[in-house]
Chain A
Amino acid sequence: MNPHIFRVVVRSQISTGRLLALAGLSGVAILLAFVARVADDPVEVATLSMGTFGTNIFAPFIALALGSAALGNLVEDRTLVYVWLRPVPRYSVATAAFAAVISVVGPIVVAVMTVAAAITGVGDLLVATAVATALAVFAYSGIFLALGLRFKRSLLVGLGYIAIWELLLSRLGDWFARLSVRSYPMSILSDATGVEMRLADRSTLTSYVVPLAVGVAGLIYTSWRLSRTEID
């Protein structure tokens, strides 16, 4: 990983709009946690809240906003040349960008969701939420980093992916669900509290391995794409 590219990508990710989106979604997470805390069945409501909001909305949308921009913005504003035209291996550029996304998205999403889990008062959820959101961030960051390099309007493509694939098609059957990232972190939450959730019926091992594999696959594709792409 190249530390100089890492720093540049981290700096490029900080914008007022993204900070506002982060603050807004964090506020929703905390609000949902308080609602769960006072619910009749706090365990069920808390698990559903952490699952539906944390791994289905918060993690993918923040990973999309920052992941697709990490290299995507450089492509769109034609400044990738200033990174590409250096004697730096392409996998090193991709790894630096991936690490930059993870290091910005990860701590924020995981910290906010873990605090939210603590607020619900459901002890079993605390570690599970931290692990599930961390895995979701890892997988989605890999996907959206790659999308950012592959598509010109990567934000729209990413929104389409979340809405159509993750939230809609994944409900059509078990095979579709297996190809949906969110079903794996949700299964971790379901395992921790015993609350059944739709799609959350993956085995413990695959719940951990698949999101990691998806993130790594995104990284490998990004490296490959960087070495093949023509720079404007």
Chain B
Amino acid sequence: MSTQASPPPMVQAANVSKWFGDLVAVSDVSFSIGAGVTALLGPNGAGKSTLLRMMCGLARPSNGTVTVLGKNPRADVAVLGRIGMAPQQESLLDYLSGREFVELAAQLHQVANPVEAARRAIQTVELDPDDTRRLSTYSKGMRQRIKLAQAVVHDPLVIALDEPLTGLDPRQRREMIQLFHRLGDEGKCVIVSSHVLDEVERFGSRVLVIAQGRLAAEGDFRDIRNLMDDRPLRISIRTDRPRVLATALLESGAISGCRLEGTDCVVVDTTEPAAFRRAVAPMARDRDASLLELRPLDDDLESVFRYLVGQ
């Protein structure tokens, strides 16, 4: 019988809550994160940044404990040497050049050769290490990348990245996601927050879904995606024959209810979105109805997360 032990978690949260006055930002969240890429998914204001800040020791839990590599990052300054973080805010030390900014991080982490380490980190994020321009002149995408460079310059074991793909173009996003995977494959614990479902799908990894300060779901992204795909949907259909199409959809069982709106619109409820998607186009074709628009009315992240919280 194999007795292979699972590796110890690198980041652990136990019954963590955080409140600011009356506002509860994080409520009784527990999880363990090991090596590899883990996505922290949730809508804006869900508590992702607060969780990341507590993991990095920037904020103190109001209740519960957060440990990184077995230490309390709030109390143990030494463990900060094993953590790299790219915060969400755009502001940087604008009077420094990009190289000086990353070198400063390397120096403060007591990297043996800060100049060389900074060059390497800047090249990793596809910026020019010889660029002497001040950070104040950097574009949004460049600022995102230099934040990543300072987060990895000291080769940390735990890397927390708060919405790191914001402002990057598609190619840069692809490159950055590859970088996250490379770091994860090297045994580092990479935690990436995002409010974009499709983005997280491309991380292709373990996901912690945070909604309204709570851990709404946890596990492999595909399982969570399936859960999301199974939720009831309300869809607005614009067609030249709304009554005919609505009747056909009701008879087929693809929808559970409908409401006519105006002369060219019907709003339908379905508990089987996949079956609905398969049925709607052939039915419209068979009944000579032109489909002018199909628009999900509750496909925003908020509603997705509300659904997950209710599950």
Q: Which of A2, A12, A81, A88 contacts B85 (CB 8 A)?
A: A81
Q: Which residue of A lies closest to B85 (CB)?
A: A85
Within 185-200 of A, Cβ neighbours of B (below 8 Å) are at none
Q: Which residue of B lies closest to A87 (CB)?
A: B81
* A34 interfacial contact with B, CB 8 Å: no
Once the chains are docked, how many angstroms separate the CA of A93 from the CA of B96?
18
Q: Which residues of B contact A79 (CB under 8 A)?
A: 91-93
Number of residues of chain B lying within 8 A (CB) of chain A: 28
Compute the total of residue contacts between A and B using a CB distance below 8 Å: 62
A193-232 CB contact bits vs B (8 Å, 1 = yes)? 0000000000000000000000000000000000000111
Closest Cβ–Cβ distance, residue B165 to chain A (whole Å): 19
A83-94 CB contact bits vs B (8 Å, 1 = yes)? 111111110000
* B109 interfacial contact with A, CB 8 Å: yes
Known contacts A8-B104, A81-B87, A87-B80, A231 near B93 by CB under 8 Å: no
CB–CB A11/B96 < 8 A: yes
Interface stretch, picked from B52-60, B189-197, B282-290, is: B52-60
Number of residues of chain A lying within 8 A (CB) of chain B: 22
Once the chains are docked, how many angstroms separate the CA of A82 from the CA of B93?
8
CB–CB B93/A12 < 8 A: yes
Closest Cβ–Cβ distance, residue B86 to chain A (whole Å): 10
B38-71 CB contact bits vs A (8 Å, 1 = yes)? 0000000000000001001111100000000000
* Cβ contacts A to B, 28 pairs, < 8 Å: A5-B108, A8-B93, A8-B96, A12-B95, A78-B87, A78-B91, A79-B92, A81-B58, A81-B87, A82-B104, A82-B105, A82-B150, A85-B56, A85-B57, A85-B83, A87-B78, A87-B79, A87-B80, A88-B108, A89-B77, A230-B58, A230-B59, A230-B60, A231-B53, A231-B58, A231-B59, A232-B58, A232-B89
